[in-house]
Chains A and B, each alone.
Chain A
Amino acid sequence: MKDKIREILLANIDELDGVDLTDDLELITGGYIDSFDIIGLISEFEDAFDISIPLEDLEVGQFDTVNSIEKVIRKFQN
């Protein structure tokens, strides 16, 4: 799952081109992505993992690392 998350991030976030995208690289606090990127990414994750992320359960901070994104996706797969 993490490889797919990485693939989506790299395909959609130009700032990550050439960056060593480790599991715990801080994407928001490191300045690579901002709230506007997250808005677009949510749709990508929903399509790729066939999930629906309800807006009422959304916390922007959950998208700060590959690890935390994986947790969000697993939560909504179950």
Chain B
Amino acid sequence: MEKNLLLEFSTRRCSHCVMPEVKGHNDLDENGLCSLCRKELILPDESKQAQFNDMSSERKKEIFLKKMQRFKTDGEYDCLVAVSGGKDSIMTLYIAHEMGLRPLALFIDNGFALPEMYDNIRSAADKLGIEWLTYRTNRMKALFSHLLKSRKNIYYCRVCHIILESTIKDICKKYGIRLILGGYTKGQSYLKQEALSWIFEESDRNTLDVIRSVPELRYLEEMFTDPIKYSIKNYREIVQISPFKYLDYDEDMIIAEIHEKLGFRLPEHSWPAHSTNCSFNYVSQYLAVKQFGYSQHETEFSDLVRSGEMSRERAEELINTPITDDDLSVPLSQLGLTKNEII
């Protein structure tokens, strides 16, 4: 059996969720609790502010329906569903269809898509009678290659998401669509994730250094200088919503439902297990844990554990999905690189 490279970085984890201890960024207290859990679990009830998540499921669903009506467009399509081919985005497409919306599904292949991603989108779109676009870009490969060679601390999923967001919104503008539905879970609400902000800041700074030093990448400079401001400047009218902010999230139920109705299947090999992340996610997660201590996956699972939507045991099992030398060498070979050249 191949060695799990993540074991090189094994560390103490929060006794309540799965966040690892990272000195100065996520310290565990004498009870083994991380800062995220301390903030939410230890505060006395009277000092806790009201939160959106405190609302009843019915109320949240009403709000979701109201938002859909408010932002859907009157053109050929009501909304665009950004589909990765994973369970959450396929479920989002299903929800849009069940709500009577006329979505355009958009799949962006960053160059590292798994075959199952294509299969899942094709199957779902065919069964639901939804039109879909595939946009395969080589931008990511060119950028990743330069970034990897720099050996700087960079969170690659962050880089990919910034480019994907811009591409998705450009396509929305082309089709006159104002509303984007994305299948990100509560734990993937990045703005709320203070635990990720320092990682994003360092990663963006290093990414920008590389972009500025390579003439052919200079077109990305404004986008990476401040992604939020770039979005405000260029896509002010476009609204992005995830149904999972408003609807109860049950991973097993989602997988069972879309498997039965849409022929969805999980990839045989993906990180973490039971996800449909691209093959580059092995490299991204390995480097994130090595360079920063954790990534968006840990904070997402941590949130889901605290909200009761995932057990700690399940989160720990997923976070411990092995990453082997082979898992790194396959996506790296697509860039003509080896592990030794990037670490």
Please give the residue numbers on chain A whose beta carbons come within 8 Å of chain B beta carbons, in ascending order. 14-15, 17-20, 25-26, 28-32, 34-36, 39-40, 42-43, 55-56, 58, 60
Contacts and interface: CB of A to CB of B under 8 A. Distances in A.
Contacts of B212: none
Q: Is the interface of A mostly helix, strand, loop or mixed?
A: loop
A14 B191 CA distance: 19
Nearest to A55: B229
Contact of B70 (A14, A28, A29, A30): A14
Contacts of B249: none
Given A36-B240, A39-B236, A14 B52 contact: no
Nearest to B63: A14
Contact of A60 (B186, B189, B191, B241): B191
Contacts of B191: 28, 34-35, 60
A29 B52 CA distance: 10
A56 B228 CA distance: 11
A58 B232 CA distance: 10
B235 interface: yes
Contacts of B53: 31
Contacts of A30: 49-52
B70 A40 contact: no
A8 to B, nearest CB: 15
B135 to A, nearest CB: 21
A34 B189 contact: yes
Given A14-B70, A35-B228, A28 B236 contact: no
Nearest to B190: A35
Contact of B228 (A31, A32, A60): A60
Contact of A31 (B59, B189, B238, B241): B189
Interface residues of B, number: 29
Of the listed residues B50, B226, B231, the one surrounded by the most CB atoms of chain A closer than 10 A to its CB is B50
Given A17-B63, A36-B239, A42 B232 contact: yes
Contact of A39 (B49, B232, B241): B232
B198 to A, nearest CB: 14
Nearest to B246: A15
B52 A32 contact: yes
A28 B238 CA distance: 19
A73 to B, nearest CB: 17
Contact of B52 (A15, A20, A39, A55): A15
Contacts of B228: 35, 58, 60
Contacts of B229: 55-56, 58
A58 B227 CA distance: 12
A10 to B, nearest CB: 13
A31 B51 contact: yes
B50 A25 contact: yes
Interface in B26-84: 49-53, 59, 63, 66-67, 70
